[in-house]
Structure 1
Amino acid sequence: MIIDSAATVFGDYRAGMQIVLMFYGSRGDIQPGIAAGLELQRRGHDVAIAVPPNFVDFATGLGLRAYPVGLDTSSVWDTPNAKKVLATKNPYTKFTLASETIKAGFAAFDADMIALLCGPDPVLSGVDALVSGPLCQERVYGFAEKLGIAFSVMRFGPFSENGIIGAIPGVTRDLPPRVNRASWRVSDALTWTFTRGAENTFRSKLDLEPASGSLQERLTRDGAVQVQAYDPILFPGLAEEWGEAKPIVGYLDLPAAARGGLTESSRSDPALWSWLTEGDPPVHITFGSVPVRDPVALTDVIVRAARSVGVRTLITMKGRSDGPDPAHPDVYFARALDHAAVLPHCRAIVHHGGAGTTAAGLRAGLPTMVCSGGADQAYWGAQVTRLKVGTATRLKGLDEATLTAGLREILTPEAGEHARLLAQHLIAPDVAVSRAVDILERSAAA
């Protein structure tokens, strides 16, 4: 390797590399990438991160150079077309409208990334390595191929072939390893069948040859680094099965020093802090960025269920103003929360099953009820149930009886004890970040 005069060799990597991270999706998809970027920057690398427009200020406020790509993911499901997706009960119409929304997001992402990396006058040049989150990995892998540079992906769940957990949450969990592995091969083949046209159209924009197989086949063939950013204790035996090919490093999170700059509801909000500390620990209820068809009706379900089991509730939900509910003093609404500051003061958590929220709740030692809406959320619900730290259901059709039963289950002493014990065995976030960045550095320098 030729080392320029501005670079210094440390072990098997060099400081001063230009590394671009690309993370797309919701807050839970972005924050681990920012945590890795901050550590790479602390180690002397030139780091930039590409994120949806609504997270640029978040990333820059934490100290990273950030560029907007794609659509505003906080409002993409608030468009008239997206609202039709939520309203219709016709599966074909729902699929068609959702596909149109997703295509618009990919088109915006592709255009922004081409301008950023390989347009006639790219914003960023001389890049040594690209690091991708899971939601844009096919695209970022193509850009790395186009530029002839290193590629790594960071994943938030075990979503590739293995014998421990199958491709259908709750169904393939207890099947023999060979069946679990086969389920992933089938899932991979089906995914490639439905996405190959769109991916190869994108590759043609970069003057790349059509892909010859699924992304996972290509990553395995090329020996690409696939960092697993979740805790191995949640999937016993998986770390041993995958070894160094897919290292499981733990859940990444922001360092305490960076969290001090967050302008979110925590100790910096006297009203919330007073409400938290002057009463019994509440149950935190959040559905993240998952679109809710009728927030008013869902709020009513939450209030009645919480009242029936005698708990206070701290609710984060789009469209509600911060502060206590005038009609229900045991209910407090917040638009955004610093989980690290708030969750240790809660008794339990009910959420949508996003990887980031699942990690935050488990790290705080909270028994958990997952109300999954889609994507990978059902996997986390299945694992929470298997580990006896909570229960799971579907967000669609959630009613007072189901929520009440779930609250009663997670508020038992047994669930609380299991959650506290699990939290004690999770890899500390700073250790997880350090492990992940060690691997990303080696990949970038290879």
Structure 2
Amino acid sequence: MSRFLLAFNGTRGDIQPAVVIGAELARRGHEVIVGAPPNLCEFVTAAGLSAASFGYDTHAHMNSEVVRTKMRTGGPRQRWRAFTEIRDLGWSQAVSDMAALGAGADAILTGFVTEQIAAPFAESIGAKLISVHHAPIRPNSAVSPVPAAVSGLPGAVNHASWWLTDTAMWLLTRERQNTLRRELGLDGAVTRSPRERFEIQAYDPALCPELVAEWSGNRPFVGFLGLSGEQRRRIGVDTGDAALLHWIRTGTAPVYFGFGSMPVPDPGAVVGAIMAACERLGARALISTGWAGLAPSDSEDVRVVGALDHEQILPLCRAAVHHGGAGTTAAALRAGVPSVVCWVGSDQPYWGARCVRYGIGASVRLKGLTAETLAAALAAVLAPDYARRAEQFAGQLITPEQAVRRCADLVEERTEANLGYRARR
């Protein structure tokens, strides 16, 4: 039996894969603890895992002024100050939390945003570091490091862009990383780009075959990680009450709208665009309020709900309009319904572009969304050929059960190999 620390910070979309992996490792008899933002520890424990606070409250952060306003308004100087504020947010807290959580771990699993902290701690205790990525964030010739950039750029341009991005991030963070290394008694300085790190790609290779061909065995693809039915039951995911299910089934299948934990600068304007676009197209709307608190009034053709079980509800819908997070995108893909990705940032434009590439969705920016833009995107994806392609594409995807088994197998293999190496030293 091994001891695994899964240390992740971010929104629920960042923490949910840790819950899925952790539950499978625990089922196999391992000791598992999940470090998560304090606002999501209850989510972890509801799934039956031990949880401890790791880093800052991400719900408060996503609704803070720096995220909702400073990063999206003003000139370059203001945006740069906002970026550095976000970069430094919670570093000391996460370092302190990691020091308390890491002792005795045989392996530390972490995400991209916490690798800089997890890596030196793993090195200092001889644990295996395993990163879990839900989008491509390492140098390659197929994908730009700027997800919203023009697609189809030459491979050499993409590689050069990655070099510049990695170098800029290294220059911005190397001082604090090297300070942490010294505090942990480690020799040497942090390198510009980790090349030999084992990084599981927790998304489906059907969406990016060119990356599968380019990357080595240190970046295996396992598929999207999703909660099992039992896990969804344990955490109390709303599968829809009888009245909602009756409403869905006694009319034209609705369009689902939900932006998860994303900050929406003007919720009223977004709601107005949704209502106007649906009225123009004669579509019914099922709206999940999310962290943004979207709150239109119920009417005969509109239903407003909280968080819903995507696996149960999306297959009953005509299309899904969402922010393009990896988890929500995966749920829509597996449901076989087309998407309109209204992206905010991070990896979301990438998933929107993937949907466009395979003819199973459209992609627009959430900021400045208008009824005209939304209606045009919806009109396109509601066409029968989009529904047909989306249904066919769903059949190509790795199932959640296959994904978590493969992921846990890889984690066990790498951890056992590292334990053997430690024993031989």
Establish whether TM, by shorter chain, passes 0.5: yes
Partner of 1:432: 403
The alpha carbon displacement at 1:406 in A equals 0.7
Instruction: Check conservation: 1:86, 1:94, Cα contact below 8 A.
Output: yes
Given the alignment, which residue of 352, 362, 372 partners 1:381?
A: 352
How big is each residue's C-alpha offset from its partner over 1:38-65, in whole Å with a ceiling of 9 and x where there is no partner? 1111111111111111111111111111
Partner of 2:415: 444
Given the alignment, which residue of 380, 383, 388 partners 1:417?
A: 388
Alignment partner of 1:241 is 2:219: no
The alpha carbon displacement at 1:262 in A equals 2.7
Partner of 2:420: none
Given the alignment, which residue of 38, 56, 59 partners 2:23?
A: 38
Q: Please give the alpha-carbon distance, in whole angstroms, between the structure 2 residues aligned to 1:393 and 1:80.
A: 24
Q: Please give the alpha-carbon distance, in whole angstroms, between the structure 1 residues aligned to 2:48 and 2:94.
A: 23
Alignment partner of 1:316 is 2:301: no
Given the alignment, which residue of 93, 104, 112 partners 1:134?
A: 112
The alpha carbon displacement at 1:162 in A equals 1.9
Q: Percent identity?
A: 39
Q: Pairwise CA RMSD of aligned residues?
A: 2.1
Q: Please give the alpha-carbon distance, in whole angstroms, between the structure 1 residues aligned to 2:250 and 2:335.
A: 20
The alpha carbon displacement at 1:83 in A equals 4.9
Alignment partner of 1:65 is 2:50: yes
Partner of 1:251: 224
Partner of 1:9: none
The alpha carbon displacement at 1:278 in A equals 2.8
Which letter maps to 2:129? Answer: F
Q: Please give the alpha-carbon distance, in whole angstroms, between the structure 2 residues aligned to 1:84 and 1:427.
A: 39
Between 192-201 and 145-154, report the one with greater CA deviation: 192-201
Given the alignment, which residue of 372, 375, 390 partners 1:404?
A: 375
Q: Please give the alpha-carbon distance, in whole angstroms, between the structure 2 residues aligned to 1:307 and 1:204.
A: 61
Q: Please give the alpha-carbon distance, in whole angstroms, between the structure 2 residues aligned to 1:25 and 1:19.
A: 19
Given the alignment, which residue of 310, 316, 338 partners 1:339?
A: 310
Paired residue secondary structure (1:29): helix
Partner of 2:257: 285
Instruction: Check conservation: 1:86, 1:293, Cα contact below 8 A.
Output: no
Structure-2 change in CA distance of 1:37 and 1:186 (3 Å): same
Alignment partner of 1:230 is 2:215: no
Large movers: runs of 4+ above 6 Å: none
Given the alignment, which residue of 108, 113, 134 partners 1:156?
A: 134
The alpha carbon displacement at 1:88 in A equals 4.0
The alpha carbon displacement at 1:80 in A equals 5.0
Q: Please give the alpha-carbon distance, in whole angstroms, between the structure 2 residues aligned to 1:254 and 1:227.
A: 18
Q: Please give the alpha-carbon distance, in whole angstroms, between the structure 2 residues aligned to 1:92 and 1:412.
A: 44
Partner of 1:264: 237
Instruction: Check conservation: 2:267, 2:293, Cα contact below 8 A.
Output: no
Q: Please give the alpha-carbon distance, in whole angstroms, between the structure 2 residues aligned to 1:273 and 1:262.
A: 20
What TM-score, normalized to structure 1? Answer: 0.87
Given the alignment, which residue of 271, 274, 298 partners 2:246?
A: 274
Which letter maps to 2:18? Answer: G
Partner of 1:13: none
Q: How many positions carry a matched residue from both structures? A: 416
Structure-2 change in CA distance of 1:236 and 1:99 (3 Å): same
The alpha carbon displacement at 1:82 in A equals 4.7
Q: Please give the alpha-carbon distance, in whole angstroms, between the structure 2 residues aligned to 1:301 and 1:188.
A: 38
Partner of 2:363: 392
Instruction: Check conservation: 2:286, 2:305, Cα contact below 8 A.
Output: yes
Paired residue secondary structure (2:32): strand
Q: Any gaps of 5 or more consecutive residues in structure 1?
A: 1-15, 118-124
Alignment partner of 1:29 is 2:14: yes
Between 171-180 and 298-307, report the one with greater CA deviation: 171-180
Between 237-246 and 368-377, report the one with greater CA deviation: 237-246
Instruction: Check conservation: 2:17, 2:225, Cα contact below 8 A.
Output: yes
Which letter maps to 2:229? Answer: A
Which letter maps to 1:75? Answer: A
Structure-2 change in CA distance of 1:83 and 1:154 (3 Å): closer
The alpha carbon displacement at 1:170 in A equals 5.8
Q: Any gaps of 5 or more consecutive residues in structure 2?
A: 418-425
Between 93-102 and 428-437, report the one with greater CA deviation: 93-102
Which letter maps to 1:349? Answer: A
Q: Please give the alpha-carbon distance, in whole angstroms, between the structure 2 residues aligned to 1:335 and 1:102.
A: 31
The alpha carbon displacement at 1:161 in A equals 1.8
Paired residue secondary structure (2:144): coil
Instruction: Check conservation: 1:265, 1:334, Cα contact below 8 A.
Output: no
Partner of 1:12: none
What TM-score, normalized to structure 2? Answer: 0.92
Structure-2 change in CA distance of 1:259 and 1:110 (3 Å): same
Instruction: Check conservation: 1:285, 1:350, Cα contact below 8 A.
Output: yes
Partner of 1:8: none
Alignment partner of 1:350 is 2:321: yes
Paired residue secondary structure (1:203): helix
The alpha carbon displacement at 1:386 in A equals 0.9
The alpha carbon displacement at 1:84 in A equals 4.5
Paired residue secondary structure (1:162): coil
How big is each residue's C-alpha offset from its partner over 1:198-256, in whole Å with a ceiling of 9 and x where there is no partner? 33344344343463412xx33x2xx3311100000101232122242211111111222
Between 290-299 and 83-92, report the one with greater CA deviation: 83-92
Alignment of 1:128-207 (within 5 A): 128-169=106-147, 171=149, 173-207=151-185
Given the alignment, which residue of 32, 41, 50 partners 1:47?
A: 32
